[in-house]
Amino acid sequence: MLPTSRKAGESCASAAPSLPVPECAICLQTCVHPVSLPCKHVFCYLLLQKVLRSTSI
């Protein structure tokens, strides 16, 4: 068994450091499946896909 810093009965989720979840630049909500573009803007994957399909390029 590998050594761990967790106490008995403590879940992995509570032991893991919490990372900030990015905000979508389109819907301004917490990103669901965040996607980062080369310009560093972050969007929800499904929302970005929907917007790209609805615009004629």
Question: In whole angstroms, what separates CA 14 from the centre of its chain?
Answer: 18
Q: How far apart are CA 51 and CA 7, in angstroms?
A: 46
Q: 24 with 44: CB under 8 angstroms?
A: yes
Q: Indicate the length of the chain as a whole number.
A: 57
Which pTM value belongs to this model?
0.52
Q: Please give the span between the terminal C-alpha atoms of the chain, in angstroms, as a whole number.
A: 56
The domains of the chain are located at 19-54
The 10s digit of each residue's pLDDT in 3-57 is: 445 455 544 445 555 677 788 888 888 888 888 889 988 889 988 888 888 876 5
Q: Which amino acid is at 34?
A: P
